[in-house]
Structure 1
Amino acid sequence: MSKSQNTVLPFEELAEAIRGRRSVYGQISGLQLDRAAPGEAWSSLPYRPVFVGDTQTGVLHGGVVTAMLDESCGLAVQLALDGTRAIATLDLRIDYQKPATPGLDIKAHSICYRTTRSIAFVRSTAYQESEDDPVATATACFMIGANRTNMLMDRPGGDHAIPTLDAPEDPGSPFANSPFARCLGIRIVDDGTLMMPFSPKIIGNPILPAIHGGMTGAFLETTAIVGLTRELGVSAPPKPIGLTVNYLRSGRALDSFANVSIVKQGRRIVAFEARAWQDDRDKPIASAFGHFMLRPTPGVEEE
């Protein structure tokens, strides 16, 4: 490694370098690093129609919040280090406090409160008008030095055109009312399995390249919502309460598949487990465990 690569940048220069060298999805989503301190990041994500999870309500897809919190936590980790070492999400727990208000930007405040030689621990709050009134909260663990790429110095090879986020209309699709799911290209294949095709827009580390951890989390959450809605035979999709994603191996430049199973079902709450894999079903790239609240059926009184 050259001397310049070993040089530790002054913090303001480091923050500016990290601001310009983020994940591909982080860039095209419009997420901004608004303010930085050692181990601390304040970020914002402008509202965009493509982020909507249900056009009938205008509420953002939960996966958008998941991906933003994952990205923001990663920024806090890099701001706690020297910015050069590649990091990877080991696990991410999201607790949804309330739906995001349609039309408003989302902000996040992430704090990397401890680092060891190999692991960084982070907590984060996503909010809109006040941090005291959160949309969601998160805790996460990241691996430090996840691979040999230098996040500030290395450049991706080949064509590196920045893709765009769009949601092609598909009236006959199960995701006709979910622009964000259509943006990711998610579709049902067989036996309740969902597929998310690989595309440049879902890249996290562009050097490898590897799928953004937030995109894998969003895919697992979508799989859970679609699978449980169909298996339970309910008319309205369940409402996410909490979701813990465990990242088992890097998502490569391949199509990803996922399914969901019910762990326990109550009258109002259902616990589930979802798994995502690529070329080998027996080698998952991530798994998720969570709880959803079942929405009341119109015209049916609860006991």
Structure 2
Amino acid sequence: MSDTPPTAAPSFDELADAIRQRRSVYGQISGLRMERFAPGEAWSCLPYRPVFVGDSETGVLHGGVVTAMLDESCGMAVQLALDGSSAIATLDLRIDYQKPATPGLDIKAHAVCFRVTRSIAFVRATAYQEEESAPVATATACFMIGANRTNMLTDRPAFGGALPPLEAPDDPTGPFATSPFARCLGIRFAENETFVMPFSRQIIGNPVLPAIHGGMTGAFLETAAIVTVMRELGASAPPKPIGLTINYLRSGRALDSIASASIVKQGRRVVAFEARAWQDDAAKPIATAFGHFMLRQAAGQEQD
């Protein structure tokens, strides 16, 4: 029998500090920080940056930025409800966009893990700018507990060295000329009306595996859907996201991701869409999404 005493469990403050220091790669380089915490609750803040813009003509942030922030904030709340040793993974994430984020202002989030079972954690969250009672978006999510054998608080990351910056290369004639965040992710057109998001360190969620950040996969799917709707309807301006539900089916590995999107139903003002992403096998998607966009009305038409 070993005489080595068991390792003492960290105090809650030590757990919170470890979660604050050892998070996703994207979360760290995006500037997302946990400002307050309580058991099962996290308050976070994402400073405004021009690279987060989804439409440079309006200055409105890309919906994927909000999605990624809410996904990570929900993950913090889950870890604060546990002991920090279990790896977690997003199973599904539902985002309802209440209003566009005001350009130039930081975004804040409050996430609450309200129920934990042996295998699943249930979370709800609100993203806002000035008052939580005036949300930019709301979210509900389910996380798997013990998703893999990694321990993000103790295991060594797969990559060392300085973290890469978030940059949007200039491409004034490219298809994403007016979307800095899409350019930051390196999204490009591919064959058969598909899209590619190349793997890079900046989109890593779990740094130990490593695995792609669920929010980045969501941003990729949303971008594919926006461009597909604009292309098929001949729209000159991006549609406004209303709601998006993402189902995560497999871990996004350190590989390029491919996505396709299609219109499910088109109305005069609202379009329903679906999208899917995969890596080396189209028959094995890593995530699927379904959602609705509000079409921008032409000049002279009634606005909602």
TM-score over 0.5 (shorter chain): yes
Match of 2:38 in 1: 37
Whether the aligned pair in 2 keeps the contact of 1:242 and 1:292 (CA below 8 Å) is: yes
Aligned residue in 2 for 1:126: 127
2:25 & 2:17 partners in 1: Cα distance? 17
Change (3 A) 1:45 1:301: closer
d(CA) in 2 for partners of 1:154, 1:94: 31
Contact in 1 for aligned 2:159/2:207 (Cα 8 Å)? no
2:84 match: 83
Per the alignment, residue 261 of structure 1 pairs with 262
Question: Are residue 162 (structure 1) and residue 163 (structure 2) matched?
Answer: yes
- Indicate how the Cα distance of structure 1 residues 72 and 158 shifts in structure 2: closer, same or farther if over 3 A, else same: closer
Give CA deviations for 1:13-72 in whole Å, capped at 9, x if unaligned: 110111001000000000000000000000000000000111111110000000000000
Contact 1:234 1:297 in 2 (8 A): no
Other-structure match for 2:22: 21
Match of 1:58 in 2: 59
How does 1:106-185 map onto structure 2 within 5 Å?
106-185=107-186
C-alpha offsets along residues 112-153 of structure 1, whole Å, 9 cap, x if unaligned?
Answer: 000001000000000000000000000000000000001111
CA contact (8 A) 2:158 2:210 kept: no
**Change over 3 Å in CA distance of 1:5–1:89 after alignment to 2:** farther
The DSSP-based 3-state class of the residue aligned with 2:15 is helix
Is the 1:5–1:153 Cα contact (8 Å) retained in structure 2?
no
- Residue 225 of structure 1 corresponds to 226
Offset of residue 261 of structure 1: 1.1
Tell me, in whole angstroms, the C-alpha distance in 1 between the residues paired with 2:29 and 2:7: 30
- Superposition TM-score, scaled by structure 1 size: 0.96
After superposition, the Cα gap between the structure-2 partners of 1:40 and 1:266, relative to the gap in structure 1 and judged at 3 Å, is same
SS in 2 for 1:143: strand
Asked if 1 retains the 8 angstrom alpha-carbon contact of 2:158 and 2:209, the reply is no
Deviation, structure 1 residue 5? 8.3
Deviation digits for residues 236-267 of structure 1 (CA, Å, limit 9, x no counterpart): 21110000000000000000010111111111
* Cα separation, 1, equivalents of 2:129 and 2:302: 34
Distance 2:61 2:300 in 1: 26
Give the whole-Å Cα distance in 2 for the aligned partners of 1:220 and 1:156.
Answer: 26
Rounded to whole Å, the distance in 1 between the matches of 2:172 and 2:293 is 27
Contact 1:256 1:277 in 2 (8 A): yes
Q: 1:10 to 1:183 in 2, by over 3 A?
A: same
Matched AA of 2:103: P
Q: How does 1:204-215 map to 2 (within 5 A)?
A: 204-215=205-216
Question: Is the Cα contact below 8 Å between 1:236 and 1:297 reproduced in 2?
Answer: no
Could you tell me which residue of structure 1 aligns to residue 102 of structure 2? 101
Taking only aligned residues, the RMSD between alpha carbons, in angstroms, comes to: 1.4
Q: How many residues align?
A: 300
Amino acid at match of 1:296: Q
Q: How does 1:194-209 map onto structure 2 within 5 Å?
A: 194-209=195-210
Amino acid at match of 2:125: S
The Cα shift of 1:160 comes to 3.8
Q: Secondary structure at the match of 1:64?
A: helix
TM-score by length of 2: 0.96
Q: Give 1:277 shift.
A: 0.5
Does the residue aligned with 1:204 lie in a helix, a strand or coil? strand
Letter in 2 for 1:206: P
- Give the Cα separation in 2 of the matches to 1:50 and 1:250: 26
Shift of the 186–157 alpha-carbon distance from structure 1 to 2, 3 Å rule, reads: closer
Distance 1:117 1:90 in 2: 15
Moved more, 197-206 or 263-272: 263-272
Shift of 1:232: 1.3
Gaps of 5+ in 1: none
Letter in 1 for 2:121: A
Q: Which whole-Å CA distance do the structure 2 matches of 1:158 and 1:263 have between them?
A: 40
C-alpha displacement of 1:7: 3.3
Residue 124 and residue 117 in structure 1: after superposition, are their counterparts in 2 closer, same or farther (change >3 A)? same
> Could you tell me which amino acid in structure 2 is paired with residue 10 of structure 1?
S
| Aligned twin of 1:186 | 187
Query: Residue 281 and residue 122 in structure 1: after superposition, are their counterparts in 2 closer, same or farther (change >3 A)?
Result: same
Aligned sequence identity (%) = 77
User: How far apart, CA to CA, are the structure 2 residues paired with 1:193 and 1:246?
Assistant: 19
